[in-house]
Structure 1
Amino acid sequence: MKKRNLISTLVMLGAVGTVLAGCGSNNASSNGSSDASDHSGKITAVGSTALQPLVEKAAGNFQKDNKKIDITVQGGGSGQGLSQVQDGAVAIGNSDIFAESKDGVDAKKLVDHKVAVVGMAPVVNKDAGVDNVTMSQLKDIFTGKITNWKELGGKDEKITVVNRAQGSGTRATFEDAVLKGATAVKSQEQDSNGTVQKIVSSTPGAISYLAFSYLNDQVKPLSIDKVKPTDANVETNKWKIWSYEHMYTNGKAKNATADFIKYMDSESVQKDLVKKMGYISIHNMKVEKDSKGAVTDK
């Protein structure tokens, strides 16, 4: 009898150990590793240059654990990303804007995966001599009414406006928040945040706007109405110029694409990589914005 009881006890302990081992494995997955997938294939993601650095870095990390999945990330602007994913040319269309905002795109065919939030700030060449503008003054600069920095207490120097190209989600977000339907002044246009950053840093009197992830010590971000462009101010909508970073799929994401999008919402991306790279976790927002731009508390 004693021998039978001993065997029963050992069997029970073995079962408990197996359960605990399984729990430990699940916990490791939930804490951010890019779980290895049985899927294979090639994923191409095209679109927003504001989102591009995050997706590129995440893709590199994801592929370390998923050798059978090959991910290519390209820029080109939000408009191109939405158009190409709608046409089935790519698996993922990266965008700073809602699909509903883009002419020629049938948003009903696309599935929206919000993976981060990006703040955007007006930036000037460091010699402009201005640290803060009002929203009204910023509008007047980009519509051509204010043309010299001395009008704002800065250097006696002509303002050179650098805009993003039509189709850019960064431009659409900036103009929605600042211009409010007014027509932008004719200016040079550039296709990417990276190019804008270089031009503003090297052109006296230049002004443009960049995603927070592209801010560095080579350009000066401006405060607006004494509000600084910080993550905390974006999270409460105190800073008004921000957008979601969307990864759109044509219909429900499947197989390798679904695995990668799931990884973008993992702890290792949302709690670590997003912050390191100058973005804001989707889970940190205290407000939410709909496709028409209306902001409400969560």
Structure 2
Amino acid sequence: MGDFPIEMVLAVVAILVSAGAFLWEFVFVGRRQLGYRVQMDTPVTGEIESVFPGVLPQLRPDLDGSSPDLKDLSVVLVRVENSGAVTIDSHDYQAPDAGRVGLHLHFPQRRVIGMAVTELSEPGLADSLDRDSGIAVREDTIGHIGVIDLPKVSLNRGDHYKILAILQRSEGTGEYRPPIVQGGIKGGKVAETQSRTGASRVMLALTTFLVMVIIVQLTVAAFEPDPAPLECVAGKLTVVGSSAFAPVVKDAAEQYRKRCAGAEFAFGFEGTERGLDRLVEEGKENHELLAITDGPKGEGYSNLVSRALGLSLFSVVVHKDVGVRSLTAAQIEDIYQDRVTNWREVGGPDLPIVIVNRIPGSGTRNTFERRMLSQPQVSRSHVSCKALEDTPPAGAAHCDVQVTKDMLQAVAELRGAIGYSELSEAGTAEVSTVAVDGIAATSDAAMNRTYPFWGIEFAYSYGELPGDSLSAAFRRYLTDEAGRNVLAAHGNVACADLPDPTRCQPDV
């Protein structure tokens, strides 16, 4: 959709249509309206069913007392009401100002032989409907229509009165045509109203429209790419360093690239030390280069500037045949100091322990030794884990690997092996993670310091970065809300979300 704010336009249109429908339904159309309802139209079949015998002959339209031939009688009850939003005054009727009659209640095919006013919503309405008000009964003999003339009654909003009429057929057979009220209201209308529980057509149409707006907005949101970051910078950035944090950085880079089509990324995750060395070698001439490390850079590298990203979880991992699910911190140290060489000594099977280490200079190895060991490991000669895979050792052994992927592969393939890895990567490998002192690796446990194996990830640049560079923008992106969400998705915690952000300082 480009920069066109389609969702904003849809929202404004929905509001305007809703407001317009409300005004049309309740203000313009229904502002001044006099309604009527036929609440009863019942035939009278004869006196045999009457509780008071002789009542029908007493209905005489003539004053001389002569009784007409009463047959095909019916009783009708009509409610006349102010169904609008404002008061209807006597001068609002579209009838001659000098006249007292404002409405005419017509009964086609019937004549009126008796009528009464009943059920006044307000007692004061009686003064407007007495004998001197102009209310009268007559007959349109040409059209065979009985008529009750109704006066110009002032009705507040919601007021009503009812007319009860006794009628006799004047022509035809079968069902009677329905009664109708004729007349007019200035600036409004006279209309039949019906008692109903469903919504009006206008409200149904409005509801349908709003549902369609919501569907369109959801469709737009589903296919619209994420909005561009506040700092969308084009260019090509190379990120090197820690292989443990590589999945997080690659995921964040992909999210950034989707939002900023002009950004490109290249990666060289060969380990923390190699990443820092490359930054020293190339960073002075290339500002579009960042190095990611598991922990502070250590001694040297004086020209490098750090930015803390977040807390990263690590875990001790073992070969699945070992069967050990928890070790104490002391047992882990004893293993890596060669004081324990068989798994049976720590509750496992009779199986020699194969120690897998990251090579010296690895950020993950530095984090492991810093968090899990009280002193440096015993000195060992370098042995390739690939060599052990070709010739399995008869007893306790050790070997070294370059990056996280190799660590997890070696532990998965060497029986009796133990190693360590970034937690989210370990969860996808054919190895078993080990709790420390019975505490599993979780973000909460690391944040409250009950789980010890964690580190802080840093992004390093060669000197201060130009503010308009992709490297500066991406580094900021890693610490803003979007980047923090990526970290959280991989089980890490952004420094800004830690209860104690000072833990992200290099010396903590």
- TM-score category (smaller protein): 0.7 to 0.9
Q: Which residue of 2 aligns with 1:224?
A: 436
Q: Which residue of 2 aligns with 1:266?
A: 480
Please identify, of 87-96 and 227-236, the stretch whose mean Cα deviation from structure 2 is larger. Answer: 87-96
Q: Conserved in 2, the CA contact under 8 Å of 1:34 and 1:263? A: no
- Give the 3-state SS of the residue equivalent to 1:72 in structure 2: strand
**In the alignment, structure 1 residue 97 sits paired with structure 2 residue 291:** no
Q: Conserved in 2, the CA contact under 8 Å of 1:97 and 1:169? A: yes
Q: Conserved in 2, the CA contact under 8 Å of 1:33 and 1:268? A: no
CA 120–34 in structure 1, closer or farther in 2 if over 3 Å, else same: farther
**In the alignment, structure 1 residue 280 sits paired with structure 2 residue 493:** yes
- Give the 3-state SS of the residue equivalent to 2:264 in structure 1: strand
Q: CA deviation at 1:208?
A: 0.2
Q: CA deviation at 1:48?
A: 0.5
Q: Which residue of 2 aligns with 1:182?
A: 376
- Give the 3-state SS of the residue equivalent to 1:210 in structure 2: strand
CA-based RMSD: 2.2
CA 156–104 in structure 1, closer or farther in 2 if over 3 Å, else same: same
Structure-2 separation of matches of 1:218 and 1:39? 39
Q: Conserved in 2, the CA contact under 8 Å of 1:48 and 1:81? A: yes
Q: Which amino acid aligns with 1:281?
A: A
**In the alignment, structure 1 residue 142 sits paired with structure 2 residue 142:** no
**In the alignment, structure 1 residue 291 sits paired with structure 2 residue 502:** no
Q: TM-score, normalised by structure 1?
A: 0.80
Q: Which residue of 2 aligns with 1:252?
A: 464
Q: Which residue of 2 aligns with 1:61?
A: 255
Q: Conserved in 1, the CA contact under 8 Å of 2:479 and 2:494? A: no
Q: Conserved in 2, the CA contact under 8 Å of 1:47 and 1:75? A: yes
Match of 2:449 among 209, 227, 237: 237
Q: Conserved in 2, the CA contact under 8 Å of 1:37 and 1:66? A: no
Structure-2 separation of matches of 1:261 and 1:154? 45
Q: CA deviation at 1:34?
A: 4.5
Q: Deviations over 1:66-123 (max 9, x none)?
A: 2222211221111122222233346101111212x1x3311xx322122222111111
CA 67–202 in structure 1, closer or farther in 2 if over 3 Å, else same: same
Q: CA deviation at 1:275?
A: 2.1
Q: Conserved in 1, the CA contact under 8 Å of 2:342 and 2:353? A: yes
Q: Which residue of 2 aligns with 1:197?
A: 408
Identify the structure with bigger relative contact order (alpha carbons < 8 Å, sequence gap 6+).
1
Q: Which residue of 1 aligns with 2:309?
A: 115
Q: Deviations over 1:17-51 (max 9, x none)?
A: 9xxxxxxxxxxxxxx85427564322111100111
Q: Which amino acid aligns with 1:165?
A: I
Structure-2 separation of matches of 1:65 and 1:182? 45
Structure 2 residues not aligned, in runs of 5+:
1-11, 13-225, 381-397
Q: CA deviation at 1:248?
A: 0.8
Q: Which amino acid aligns with 1:277?
A: H
Alignment of 1:157-172 (within 5 A): 157-172=351-366
CA 250–34 in structure 1, closer or farther in 2 if over 3 Å, else same: farther
Give the number of aligned pairs.
Answer: 259
Q: Conserved in 2, the CA contact under 8 Å of 1:55 and 1:73? A: no
Structure-2 separation of matches of 1:161 and 1:204? 11
CA 118–162 in structure 1, closer or farther in 2 if over 3 Å, else same: same
- Give the 3-state SS of the residue equivalent to 2:315 in structure 1: strand
Q: TM-score, normalised by structure 2?
A: 0.48
Larger radius of gyration: 2
Structure-1 separation of matches of 2:324 and 2:379? 20
CA 176–42 in structure 1, closer or farther in 2 if over 3 Å, else same: same
- Give the 3-state SS of the residue equivalent to 1:127 in structure 2: helix
Structure-2 separation of matches of 1:263 and 1:104? 27
Structure-2 separation of matches of 1:123 and 1:185? 22
- Give the 3-state SS of the residue equivalent to 1:87 in structure 2: helix
Q: Deviations over 1:252-291 (max 9, x none)?
A: 22221111112112222212x2122232222332234343
Q: Deviations over 1:150-195 (max 9, x none)?
A: 0011111011110001111000010112222232463211111111
Please identify, of 220-229 and 37-46, the stretch whose mean Cα deviation from structure 2 is larger. Answer: 37-46
Q: Which residue of 1 aligns with 2:268?
A: 74
| Larger helix share, 1 or 2 | 1
Q: CA deviation at 1:205?
A: 0.8
Structure-1 separation of matches of 2:480 and 2:340? 45
Q: Deviations over 1:193-239 (max 9, x none)?
A: 11111221222111000111212262111111122111111112211
Please identify, of 110-119 and 141-150, the stretch whose mean Cα deviation from structure 2 is larger. Answer: 110-119
